[in-house]
Chains A and B, each alone.
Chain A
Amino acid sequence: MTLDLFLVQLLNGVSYGLLLFMLAAGLTLIFSMMGVLNFAHTSFYMIGAYVAYQISSWIGFWAALVLAPLAVGLLGAAVEHWGLRRVHKWGHVPELLFTFGLSYIVFELVQVIWGRAPVAYQVPAALDGPVGWLQAAGITFPQYRLFIMGVAVLMLCALWLLLTHTRIGLVIRAALTHPEMVEALGHNVPRVFMLVFGAGCALAGLAGVIGGNAFVTEPGMAGSVGAIVFVVIVFGGLGSLAGAFFASLLLGLVDAFGKTSGTSLAALLSVAGIDVVPGSFGYPVLSMTLSQVAPVLPYLLLVLILIFRPRGLMGTREN
């Protein structure tokens, strides 16, 4: 692998990882606050992409960048207020199942409204094409990927500042660990929950707006990224934002490098002096290139961390 290619893959991996973290951050916040894993979280990501497609076909991408996350956030708050809150009294499993059912409904509703084929959600013309100054250095890297990284970093800095330097952030952090005490001090904790749920969904929606046109906007997009995001938050340790951050970047890099690498276990063994030829034991597995096994890698990582560190990268609680 040349250095140029390595750099491009690195940037690809980081931008995908940041996108994953935008999803994982909302999911982690909602989980640590309400104890519920929002199964429909990536459904909101999908809704964000579709709504952005619709808005950008009417009044342009830049309006969609602002309006679509707001719409998704409002939708999320509504779901929390009229749906999840009602189920809350029955415990965590019904809550999880509620969001699971919701993901079914969203999956079909999207098809009812926008059809089953991918929609033509395009990268805006201003951001199409490779980055100029990288191109001059001989590296071809799409401008839009850089834009994704910029939006993600900006958003996450804003989130961090909001959580650590504002009054509402203080209330949210307090409500994470001591909801009764916060309530006793006169804060409306259910409303804080609704706010966090809505904000988490808006974050997912924003990820959909900028991810939907970088990848493909189609009904299966929620399911394909959903399992990866769950791997991220379990790998990083349930409830840990920092863990989710490192896990997102790691999985983003694994994805970028895994998909393009032609290395196989057989090649590795031959370096060690063991030749694997057709017919020797385990040949079908050993001869597979890394790019062929790339879809399995995230789950393999999950299995490995569960064997060697069951609470995840930075998890603090056993359960």
Chain B
Amino acid sequence: MNSSGEIGFKPLNLGRWVIWGFTALVFIVAPQVFGSGFARALLSQMGIMIIFALSYNMLLGQTGLLSFGHAVYSGLGAYFAIHALALIGKGTLVFPVSLLPLVGGAAGLFFGIVFGWLTTKRAGTTFAMISLGLGEMLFAASLMFPGFFGGEAGISGNRTAGGPFLGLAGLTFGPDLQVYYLIAAWTFLCMMAMYALTHTPLGRIANAVRDNPERAEFIGYDAQRVRWIMMMLSGFFAGVAGGLSAINLESVGSGAVHATVSGGVLLAAFIGGVLFFFGPILGAIVFVFFAFALSEYTPAWHLYLGVFFVLLVMYAPGGLSSLILLNLRVAKFGKFSRLRDPYVGVLGAALALAAGVALLIEMTYHVTLGIGTTPKVAVFGFPFDTGRSESWVFVTALLGAATASFEYMRRRFKVEWDRITVEIEDWRRDNPEEDS
């Protein structure tokens, strides 16, 4: 952002073209590099989650609305899309499958208008509670009306029902690679649209309403209306994400409107960081990794995700994106080499601590859930016998040693980090004209 106040003229923002071009390239190349079926499914989920998390951040990061019920819009979008897909399958509706996310988006927009009118009457904590209540209401209702919601089993469709895309033989969206590219194209489009929105007057006024609603009202904007419009647009993109997931999974159940979905998108956006546009993108990737990759290995992935989230809230409320940018700033000032040793120490100790905690959790879970018939549990490929006391002694010793060394390393790191931060701040204060 140009903070010096002068009016700049840039006919071609080269850096932006490079970044978007690189993103597109990553989208195209990724499924070729990670070719397995599981990896492609993961990539498709990441694309959908990126749209969802970005749409969520239109509320939290840009308008300051903390929502606990965003699954309402993605879920209803998914339901309308899957019903449309079922109608296409029956032949009663003629509509290209590739544009189904628009159906989801329209549903999200519609419910954003209806529910948004109600929820955006209040901001702050009350908004959070209303959105939670609305989400719970929809979930309870979804079990009540099996005709539309299909109960727990859900509604299913067939994504190849529309026939070949643009008459191209073989392009039916049946194979997972074709679905991935459809999702990637939508993700790219939505990313650009949402990024463009942050630069419109509406996006800027939303920021003003977030920071100081009273002042925004004094200069003539209706804060409630701004929140409402942002809610509609956010609902639209959430609906697109829902529509894509309907195509991807070919089935939508009442789980799509459950509170865990709303909670998940909140975690994703916050883990990546809500202060920067690219934060939720990063968060979506990390979240999908936790939710789909880690859950293959451990039943306790919720616990790891929760601990990771709480640590971020406590020590880095700006999320991963702010951590990256802070380190880039240190590197820009040429001071990163001084952090290298403290980093090696603190990360090494953190790794040992994480391993100890994970071991303890996995072994305990193994006992309480009674997984398998043997008392052995494999952690990181090593077998641990939960029936023998030596394993427990080992874990306790590891935890103790790791905790002590982590605390020591953390303090050492903090001293150096604080020193560097002070140096940079001093320099910026002394050289305001060179600061950008």
Chain A interface (Cβ < 8 Å from any Cβ of B): 31, 37, 83, 86-87, 90, 92-94, 96-98, 100-102, 104-105, 107-109, 111-116, 223, 227, 230-231, 233-234, 238, 284, 288, 292-293, 295-296, 298-300, 302-303, 306-307, 310, 319
Contacts and interface: CB of A to CB of B under 8 A. Distances in A.
Given A105-B306, A112-B361, A299-B137, 9 more contacts: A37-B128, A87-B314, A92-B124, A108-B303, A295-B143, A299-B134, A303-B118, A303-B133, A307-B118
B66 A234 contact: no
Interface string B222-244: 00000000000000000000000
Interface of B: 66, 118, 121-126, 128-130, 132-134, 136-137, 140-141, 143-145, 147, 259, 263, 266-267, 270, 300, 302-303, 305-307, 309-310, 313-314, 317, 361, 364-365, 368-369
Contact of B313 (A97, A112, A231): A97
B60 to A, nearest CB: 8
B435 to A, nearest CB: 24
A37 B259 CA distance: 18
Contacts of A105: 303, 306-307, 310
Q: Which of B118, B128, B147, B267 has the most CB of A within 10 A?
A: B128
A118 to B, nearest CB: 14
A306 B123 CA distance: 13
A292 B66 contact: no
A16 to B, nearest CB: 18
Q: Which of A223, A292, A299 has the most CB of B within 10 A?
A: A299
B125 A238 contact: yes
A37 B307 CA distance: 20
Nearest to B305: A104
A86 B140 contact: no
B144 A104 contact: no
A156 B137 CA distance: 30
Contact of B310 (A98, A223, A306): A98
Q: Is the interface of B mostly helix, strand, loop or mixed?
A: helix
A76 B404 CA distance: 25
Contacts of A302: 130, 133, 137
A149 to B, nearest CB: 27
Contact of B364 (A112, A292, A298): A112
Contacts of B121: 306, 310
Nearest to A94: B317
Contact of A310 (B122, B305, B361, B364): B122
A292 B140 CA distance: 10
11 contacts: A87-B314, A97-B266, A108-B300, A108-B306, A230-B132, A231-B133, A284-B147, A292-B144, A299-B140, A306-B118, A306-B122
